[in-house]
Amino acid sequence: MPLGKWQPFSRCLLSHGKKGYKTAQCCILQPHRAFSSADSVQTADDDLRRVEFSQDRIGSDGSLITGTLPGKQEHAAQQEGRARPAALSPTAPVLPPISEHELQQLVDTIADSRRLVVLTGAGCSTESSVPDYRGPQGAYSTGFKPITHQQFMASAEAQKRYWARSFAGWHEFSDIHPNAAHEGLARLQQRGWVDALITQNVDRLHSKAGATDVIELHGTTHRVICMGCGETSPRQPFQDLLAELNPGAADYVQRLIRAGHDAEAARQRSLRVGSTSVEEARQAQLFKRRPDGDVEIPVRRPDGDVELQDAGKGFIVPPCPSCGGILKPDVVFFGDGVPAERSKRVLALAHECDAMLVVGSSLMVYSAFRLAKAAKTGDGRLAILSAGPTRADAMADLKVEALAGEALSRIASHPALLIPKTAV
């Protein structure tokens, strides 16, 4: 197995370990880093780690079951008043539980801060079944190439193709629920522990979880912007207008949604009886979600009719009602920059904070990396909670690799952070 790429555990070597455990051998990205785990690390050499997972995390076909297991642990969490753990999500990375020591370090970072800025990325939403870009189950690993700003602006055909796919994916994407990571951060913010919440995500899940004043660095799919006059409008009325103008596509999408519900029900049934692997479960999803709400249109027709891939050609996208300009989701596409005013604001927040917590971001995009750099220019503390390497690992004061949902629900329930900050 090549170093530098996560391998799904279903493809790892599995063998029986001590009673009640199986051993998964896998390749991980940072060979010299301790694989922090409440499960145990047996041996480690340059490119191979041996990590034990309890028996109930190994599916009947040998694949690893990710996320928090339903049943015992969930019951225990509810007893302790913690947020409901994230449901099994095929897009979440495979990680062992966070250690008590790491948990305490993250709690201390928050509790000791005067002004805390939280910066979240795609890894914060993977437990809500939104794939990230660069993770093991990420969109890039399946050959996804996001549209660039230049490609979108270049032709009406490109805009039609984009909107036809986005139109098809919106129903599902707009219906996604926040997970324990979003809920944990919202609770911390409500108690005054988070001074600014900046996200690279366009899915609006922080707001859905109850967070306020969320700064959406790269915009949101929930808004449409005119490239001519700059006017913005909510997405849903525009979606309704697209359905009206494209009744054939709207009808096809409705049938896909119904077929998707049937596939999801079958997936849930098979998960309950433990007869499916994570990969099979992923395949069962009719729409392949993308981090920006775009979808991969299934080539196979669910019940025989036109394919929406062809619909891009005849798809009608209306112009801006005010100026006739090109309408685009209010998202910063690759190849475009964060609007100047927003950029200035977040940079000032990063400079002013004395602690920054990065959640689920590899910080590979410069607009996010520069914020981590800015936080470090003073005597700001930089803590990173993210799976896999990040661009800021070398400058981080603390790096923890754990599932964001598990870590943040426990952090938000920690006695030191249960009281409002003003009362400290």
In terms of CB distance, is 152 or 193 closer to Zn ion? 152
Run of H or E residues at 219: strand 219-226
CB of 330 to Zn ion, least distance (A): 13
Taking CB under 5 A as the binding criterion, the range among 90-98, 131-139, 293-301, 313-321 that sits at the site for Zn ion is 313-321
- Among 70, 192, 325, 339, interactor with Zn ion by CB under 5 A: 325
Q: Residue 29: CA atoms inside 13 Å, Cβ hemisphere, count?
A: 17
- Among 323, 348, 419, 424, interactor with Zn ion by CB under 5 A: 323
CB 66 within 8 A of CB 92: yes
In terms of CB distance, is 164 or 327 closer to Zn ion? 327
Tokens linked to 165 = 């796919």
Q: Is 12 annotated for ligand binding? A: no
Residue 226 binding Zn ion, by CB under 5 A: yes
Residue 320 binding Zn ion, by CB under 5 A: yes
Count of residues that interact with Zn ion, criterion CB under 5 A = 7
Residue 225 binding Zn ion, by CB under 5 A: no
For residues 262 and 397, what is the distance between their CA atoms, to the nearest angstrom? Answer: 47
Backbone φ and ψ for 390, nearest 5 degrees, come out as: -125, 165
Residue 229 binding Zn ion, by CB under 5 A: yes
Could you tell me the end-to-end alpha-carbon distance of the chain, in angstroms, rounded to an integer?
A: 50
In terms of CB distance, is 321 or 378 closer to Zn ion? 321
Alpha-carbon Rg for the chain in angstroms: 22
Secondary structure of residue 251 in the 3-state scheme: helix
Taking CB under 5 A as the binding criterion, the range among 21-29, 70-78, 218-226, 403-411 that sits at the site for Zn ion is 218-226
Binding mask 249-288 for Zn ion (x = CB under 5 A): ----------------------------------------
In terms of CB distance, is 233 or 270 closer to Zn ion? 233
The residue with tokens 């490109």 is: 158
Taking CB under 5 A as the binding criterion, the range among 44-52, 86-94, 220-228, 290-298 that sits at the site for Zn ion is 220-228
Q: Is 226 annotated for ligand binding? A: yes
Taking CB under 5 A as the binding criterion, the range among 64-72, 178-186, 219-227, 237-245 that sits at the site for Zn ion is 219-227
Give burial (CB, 10 Å; 0-12/13-18/19+) of 302.
Answer: middle
Residue 327 binding Zn ion, by CB under 5 A: no
Secondary structure of residue 211 in the 3-state scheme: coil
Residue 228 binding Zn ion, by CB under 5 A: yes
In terms of CB distance, is 173 or 333 closer to Zn ion? 333
Beta bridge partners of 356: 117, 382
**Residue in 74, 63, 80, 84 with CA at minimum distance from that of residue 128:** 84
Residue 233 binding Zn ion, by CB under 5 A: no
In terms of CB distance, is 229 or 424 closer to Zn ion? 229
Tokens linked to 286 = 């009719």
- Verify whether residue 218 is a known catalytic residue: yes
- Among 322, 337, 348, 378, interactor with Zn ion by CB under 5 A: 322
In terms of CB distance, is 15 or 232 closer to Zn ion? 232
Residue 363 binding Zn ion, by CB under 5 A: no
Task: Return the residues of window 281-300 that contact Zn ion according to CB under 5 A.
Answer: none
**Residue 84 Cα distances to 222, 300, 404, angstroms:** 26, 36, 13
How many angstroms separate the most distant Cα atoms in the chain?
70
Q: Which of 218, 222, 261, 351 is catalytic?
A: 218
For residues 183 and 187, what is the distance between their CA atoms, to the nearest angstrom? Answer: 6
CB 183 within 8 A of CB 210: yes
DSSP string of 282-349?
A: HHH-SSEE-TTS-EEPPSS-SSSS--HHHHHHH------TTT---EEEEE--BTS---HHHHHHHHHH
Residue 232 binding Zn ion, by CB under 5 A: no
Residue 34 binding Zn ion, by CB under 5 A: no
**Residue 271 Cα distances to 6, 14, 277, 335, angstroms:** 24, 20, 8, 40
CB 263 within 8 A of CB 286: yes
CB of 225 to Zn ion, least distance (A): 9
Q: Is 353 annotated for ligand binding? A: no
Task: Return the residues of window 380-419 that contact Zn ion according to CB under 5 A.
Answer: none
Beta bridge partners of 220: 330
- Which residues have a catalytic role annotated? 218
Residues contributing to the site for Zn ion (CB under 5 A): 226, 228-229, 320, 322-323, 325
Q: Which residues are annotated as a binding site for Zn(2+)?
A: 226, 229, 320, 323
